[in-house]
Structure 1
Amino acid sequence: MKQLIKIFSDYAWGLPLVILLIGGGLYLLILSKFIPFRYLGHAIQVLRGKYDDSNDSGQISHFKALTTALASTIGMGNIAGVAVAISVGGPGAMFWMWISAIVGMSTKFFTSTLAIMYRGKDSTGEIQGGPMYFIVEGLGKSWKPLAIMFSLFGMIGALPVVNANQLTQAINDIILIPNGVEVGLKSNLIIAFILVIITSIIILGGLKRISNAASKMVPSMVLLYFVLIVFILISNYEVVPKYFYIIFTDAFIAGNYKGDSFLGGVLGALILLGIRRGAFSNEAGIGTAPMAHGAAKTDEPVREGLVAMLGPAIDTLVVCTLTALAILVTGVWETTSNNGVSLTASAFSYTMPVYGKYLLMVCVLVFSVSSLFSYSYYGTKCLSFLVGANNKHYYNYIYILSIILAVTTPFDMMLNLIDGVFALMAIPTMLATLIMAPRVVKEIKEYIKRLG
């Protein structure tokens, strides 16, 4: 099974998908004449609530929509995903994650603008947004198979298997094993049971409870993580410029890449690794974030697109870069065979030997638990589209059971599963976005006129 899932993931992440995600994102960037980037300041004003109107259609504020989306993207992709990228690809992998994020900002703008432009209604009449709705509402009923494809794979992609797996690994490596507790199936099942209880309390309360929890947890967890990483960088300040420089040079020579080649060489493989880990981290082009942003209280699609665009910047350009530099400047990427969250824990222990790994544990706990809340919302929306909103609660039971599966399964198997499914979610999302991109450009021009 492990080998089959790896073959599936590698096949899904072939050259066509890379062209679709990165080539498509660059096309959107050029088509919009970089306008979204020129309105970054305005995006922050929108996020702060300057243009909020309680009479607008939707369910949650711009800020809660962004934090709900960030609660899923700022998760183990930033701690474990970056560690995987560096342990396999070396420092250069981070450069290609940056490229993925910059292109991804444009993609997120377009997909989330479309999520508001073409909102649909579920079977109960509630306004909804997301790729499955903008495909049907924007392209017509004949395109519904593409929307069904997104929803089917979206239910699998939303399962919390990577987060639950890495949270369990962190608890085992940081708390239980150092204190002489024997870890195995029994201890993992106890952790799973506790996670199931916490997750159930939040997700069975619906979007309002999820967004409220996320809006409180996300800003605080980013701030705590930022402070801890800055302390690590200050403690190792003399090598920070060196490794920052190596990120750029290694990106084009792939001198530290340890995996299989791609397109006949290691550089192609390093680029693919960076894009893949970037996509796992910020989810630009995958289609998850538009489901959260599609629920925002606004009648101005461009505003929500601008807010959504901030996601990859916060997630990959800031949080992932901090993790990468912490792993690099402490040297643990060369001195230990650890992978995933354990490698990041080694970096924290190197600088803060006594309490570093416990502080990371707090971050991991908040990152993972907030992600558990948000992903369940995405899965219920996908099931709701397929079989009606009255049946969407059934997804939560599958979701909760998958936590038990995740904590008893190897990490690389879970990572490859979600990687592969994300690739198949990106196909309908990006195809529909590229087809409707000129409509978004027209909407941008009209919005700028109204703003003036």
Structure 2
Amino acid sequence: METLEYYSVQFANAVWGTPTVILLLGGGLFFAFYSRFLPYRHFGHAFGLLTGKYDSPDQPGELSHRQALAAALSGTMGLGNISGVALAIVAGGPGAVFWMWMSALVGVATKFFTCSLGVMYRGSDSLGQLQGGPQYVIREAMPRVFYPLAILFSLMGLIGTLPMFQANQLSALIRQSGMIGEPSPMGNLVLGLVMATVVGLVIFGGLRRVARVAEAVLPLMIAIYMGMTLFMIAINITEVPAILSLIVTEAFNPTAVGGGLLGVVLIGVSRGVFSNEAGLGTEVMAHGAARTNEPIREGLVAMLGPIADTLIVCTCTAIVILLAGTWQEPGELSGVTLTANAFHAELGNVGTGLLIVVTLLLSSTTMFACWYYGAKCFGFLVGAEIQHHYRWFFLATIVFGATVSLDVVFNLISGAYAIMAIPTMVSTLYLSGKVKAAAQDYFRRHPY
């Protein structure tokens, strides 16, 4: 196991370097300036699209705009917001949170461009069904010489979308709560089997069942979680300005991370992208299933994701952890257990209990979305007619994730995410002119 941990760390460190950060942050800045900040000027229309006013059952696709956003958010609104923030603070100090914010701000433009392309260049799988995603964008819109990027994205997508991180952190939280007694290999195995059974009941119903469950569960769970965090912030409101000042100060003059400024930037951006997935391409597969023939509409809906996910939910989590102060001497605490410790310090067993419920449901909806992403990557590589077999492999990795260490699963998935960003961002940069032209045409035709 130690050997596996060592190589997983080496893998993540190798791919999450300066070039990856430049690609994601620099690419997002390019999209923002190139579009003259067009996405940022149309948040009102984006929210209007979620009301269903512009939906039409006769247009191509499987999901409404609201369902597509729910499906995409089910993949991002989860342990990245609860556990990923804790991992960022432990590894990079408070300053990492600032760089998570930066990844979200530029991620707005990135998601607008990537998800517009996901609808603009949908392609048919081997069964003739319409699909979206970076692999199809590359296949349908770019010269053949770029096709290996589609293969690379799909291969890394099979790893990056595995549910091992969610299973690992959920089992860790349940163990810490004392609900199943002392940690043991058999206890972890039983937890993994139970989680796999629950997830299987949903994913065997297909994408529409996943979207319906996400649409029903997400708002309630986010409301509960936000209520918990806002209550803790409210009772400690006098300390919040100092916490926010600490985040900004440590972002440029870090004292809690090796590697100085570059180190904290790398950690913050990688954890931010792990949370909001802007530029990775997973979100393109969800939004590519939207029922619309107007690609720009889905790009506008998609850009709301980083705002809700990172700027709001992740920020609340970070403030709670920093208020509790447990990040400074984490010991064996990391990820979701550190967040749980922070809630327990202020809210006692009630806080821990509520966090378990929220984490259980959010991690489950994330696993539902991850199954869809992985299945689409698998179908692209080997044929959609046999992609249903992927479900069994996916469920097996839930059991595996519940029984191995956090370092192994986090570094493996985080590293795969970094590689997925390469084909996603390269293709989006190459085709950015198509999105800009389509956006200009759309707003000429729809001066709302």
TM over 0.5: yes
Counterpart Cα distance in 2 of 1:411 and 1:188: 13
Match for residue 351 of structure 1?
Answer: 346
Q: Distance in 1 between matches of 2:228 and 2:408?
A: 30
The structural deviation recorded for 1:47 is 1.4
Partner of residue 77, structure 1: 80
Matched, 1:163 2:166: yes
Please tell me whether residue 269 in structure 1 is matched to residue 272 in structure 2.
Answer: no
Match of 1:115 among 118, 121, 133: 118
Q: Which residue matches 1:426?
A: 421
CA offsets 1:206-230 (integer angstroms, 9 cap, x no match)? 1111111111111111111000101
Q: More deviation in 366-375 or 330-339?
A: 330-339
Distance 1:426 1:32 in 2: 21
SS in 1 for 2:179: helix
Give the letter aligned to residue 431 of structure 2: M
**2-side partners of 1:302 and 1:42: how far apart?**
11
> By how many angstroms is 1:256 displaced?
2.4
For residue 352 of structure 1, give the secondary structure of its aligned residue in structure 2: helix
Q: Is the 8 A contact 1:91 1:247 kept in 2?
A: yes
**Superposition RMSD in Å:** 1.1
Q: Which amino acid aligns with 2:266?
A: L
State the 1:26 CA deviation.
Answer: 0.7
| 1:354 shift after superposition | 3.0
Matched with 1:211 is 211
- Residue 440 of structure 1 aligns to a residue whose secondary structure is helix
Greater shift, 139-148 or 110-119, is seen at 139-148
| 1:280 alignment partner in structure 2 | 274
- Tell me the matched-pair count: 443
In the alignment, residue 207 of structure 2 is paired with which amino acid?
L
Partner of 1:442: 437
Instruction: Work out whether residues 131 and 429 of structure 1, in 8 Å CA contact, stay in contact via their aligned partners in 2.
Output: yes
Deviation at 1:176, TM superposition (A): 2.8
**How far off is 1:203 after superposition?**
0.7
Q: Which residue number corresponds to residue 286 of structure 2?
A: 292
Bigger shift: 386-395 or 430-439?
386-395
- Give the whole-Å Cα distance in 2 for the aligned partners of 1:138 and 1:30: 23
Of 26-35 and 85-94, the range deviating more from structure 2: 85-94
Aligned-residue offset at 1:380: 0.6
Distance in 2 of aligned mates of 1:74 and 1:209: 18
Gap runs ≥5 in structure 2: none
What are the residue-to-residue correspondences of 1:305-324 with 2, within 5 Å?
305-324=299-318
Code of the aligned partner of 1:23: G
Quote the residue 1:413 is aligned against: 408
* Partner Cα distance (1:371, 1:46) in 2: 23
Q: Is the 8 A contact 2:164 2:397 kept in 1?
A: yes
When structure 1 is superposed on structure 2, of 296-305 and 234-243 the one drifting more is: 234-243
Q: Which residue of 1 aligns with 2:242?
A: 242
Instruction: Report deviation, 1:334.
Output: 2.5
Q: Find the counterpart in structure 2 of residue 9 from structure 1.
A: 12
Distance, in Å, in 1 between the alignment partners of 2:256 and 2:164 is 29
State whether residues 129 and 294 of structure 1, in contact with CA within 8 Å, keep that contact through their aligned partners in structure 2: yes
Structure 2 distance, partners of 1:391, 1:32, is 41
Paired residues of 1:235 and 1:351 also in contact (CA < 8 A):
no
In the alignment, structure 1 segments of 5+ residues that lack a partner are none
Tell me by how many angstroms 1:238 deviates. Answer: 1.7
Question: Retained in 2: the 8 A contact 1:154–1:425?
Answer: yes
Q: Which moved more, 1:426-435 or 1:241-250?
A: 241-250
Alignment of 1:78-227 (within 5 A): 78-176=81-179, 181-227=181-227
Partner of 1:107, secondary structure, is helix
Secondary structure of the 1:295 match is coil
What one-letter code is carried by the residue in structure 1 that aligns with 2:21? V
The answer (yes or no) to whether the contact 2:192–2:403 under 8 Å persists in 1 is no
Q: CA deviation at 1:232?
A: 0.7
Residue identity matched to 2:310: T
TM-score, normalised via structure 1 length = 0.96
- Cα distance in 1 between the residues matched to 2:340 and 2:309: 19
The equivalent residue for 1:328 is 322
Q: Which amino acid aligns with 1:355?
A: V
